[in-house]
Amino acid sequence: MAARSVGKPVREYLLTLCITMAVTYLLTGPVRKFAIVAGAMTEIRARDVHREPTPRLGGIAMFAGLCAGLLVADHLTNLNSVFTTSHEPRALLSGAAIIWIVGVLDDKYEIDALVKLGGQLIAAGVMVVQGLTILWLPIPGEGTILLSAWQGNLLTVALVLVTVNAVNFVDGLDGLAAGMVCIAATAFFLYAYRIWYGHAIEAAAPATLFSAILIGMCLGFLPHNMPPARIFMGDSGSMLIGLVLAAGGISITGQVEPDALNLFTGSERASVHEMVPSYIPLLLPLSIIAVPAVDLVLAVVRRTWRGQSPFAADRGHLHHRLLQLGHSKSRAVLIMYFWCALISFGTLAYSVNSASMWIVLAIMAGSAVGLVLLLLPRFQPRVPHWAEKAVPPRYRRRRAALRRARAEAAAAAVDEAASGGAAPARTAHGATALGAYEKRDPAHSAGSRH
């Protein structure tokens, strides 16, 4: 495609993304006040990691951002064709509205898990009825397999359920679900945009639009949800962004016919082989939401093994295990971000050039870095004395606290010697402060004694 024909759609996507982000961000504050008044508060439970009641219903602002993004895109020159040639945006909005309503009711009234599952099935069914479904699958070595109506519908519903619940299950730390979905949606947008404008396959246009809007929804909500979170997205938000992510995967995996790829690969079988690194992961979905999907599978197996309902809450999720290893909340969130980005963008890079060994080596190196981060939960960076002024204050507080504790202990010892033992309280306080600090950070204290 020529630069002239590509530049304008990029600007329109950025405009849609920014409008979605702005609407979500600006409405989250009023929604927070409404949630407090309505009593939609997350109380402290045994499995929770937050320490004070926090309002939910953040999904209200995210749904408003979705509607705003679709409305803006419908009035843009290039993106308007998505609405005139396809029913998928309307199907997405219908399914999103149903699952959002179910989520709002759950945030307020804590409805039964089976009722939520029923709402998810209805939302997926509504999208299928309106044409957002998987029609065919590219199978390596076999070519295109045309699915029957019931096969495509069943596969579509299963993909929606897996994605929605995977995102919902991973929403356990401040900023975790929104950040991970934002990372996955960014990789997905680059993939879909490459298929549409890189290879002139217009059937990828809806998926490209959905991913741009999803990025805006997550970016608009994240400033309110980063630690310490002022509001939670709740099920109304987590199920919503899971549905939008699933809709994009269904659209580009099952609607883009591999025959169209003959234009740049030479044959259908060759085109299928070239696109396998992206098609199959997007279908299952094991690359875009690999971390939430693994968490979902482990949760179902763990709870079923214990004789519990698969929807029963517990403290066995991946982010809970990171906290148990000794990671802080912020560090656990960043580690989950890292793995999500590594898998999503690694798959994206592999789909662009699957023959490059450098990509495989880079993914292996990134995995090694991730394992190191997991094995060093209590690692605290230290700097020499001469570099203290060049680092953030949090890296200087421990050294300053140690100096204060030692000074207090020394002053207490001098007072005790001068008064003949009449200041035991101060001496004990100084010794306790120094001992407590050295116990809390023994490596730093031992290193400073040399």
Share of the chain above pLDDT 90, in %: 27
List 216's β-bridge partners, or say none: none
What is the pLDDT, as a whole number, of residue 126? 95
Q: 272 φ, ψ to 5°? A: -65, -45
Torsion, Cα 257 194 243 55, to 10 degrees, reads 180
Rounded alpha-carbon distances, angstroms, from residue 295 to 12, 120, 318, 319, 450 = 36, 19, 6, 9, 45
In sequence order, what are the residues at sequence separation of 6 or more whose Cβ sits closer than 8 angstroms to the Cβ of residue 33? none
d(CA 195, CA 249): 13
What is the pLDDT, as a whole number, of residue 390? 64
The better pLDDT of the pair 395, 92 is held by 92
Residue type, 211: S
Q: Are strands 136-139 and 54-55 parallel, antiparallel or unpaired?
A: unpaired
pLDDT category of residue 435 using cuts at 50, 70 and 90: low
Among 354, 348, 449, 343, which residue's Cα sits nearest to residue 406? 449
Which token pair is 106? 């759950």
Task: Indicate the SS3 state at residue 146.
Answer: strand
pLDDT category of residue 129 using cuts at 50, 70 and 90: very high
Which token pair is 297? 């599978």
Whether residue 272 is predicted with pLDDT greater than 80 in this model: the reply is no
Domain edges within the chain? 3-285, 385-448
Supply the DSSP string of 341-354, one letter for each residue: HHHHHHHHHHHH-T
In sequence order, what are the residues at sequence separation of 6 or more whose Cβ sits closer than 8 angstroms to the Cβ of residue 60? 27, 31, 34, 104, 236
Q: Are strands 136-139 and 41-42 parallel, antiparallel or unpaired?
A: unpaired
d(CA 239, CA 158): 14
What is the pLDDT, as a whole number, of residue 342? 81
The better pLDDT of the pair 92, 300 is held by 92
Among the residue ranges 5-19, 26-40, 167-181, 303-317, the one predicted with the least confidence is: 303-317
pLDDT category of residue 400 using cuts at 50, 70 and 90: low
Q: Which helix (H) or strand (E) holds 136?
A: strand 136-139
Sequence length of the chain is 450
List 297's β-bridge partners, or say none: none
User: pLDDT, tens digit, for every residue of 333-376?
Assistant: 787 788 788 887 877 777 666 556 777 777 778 777 766 766 66
What is the pLDDT, as a whole number, of residue 344? 79
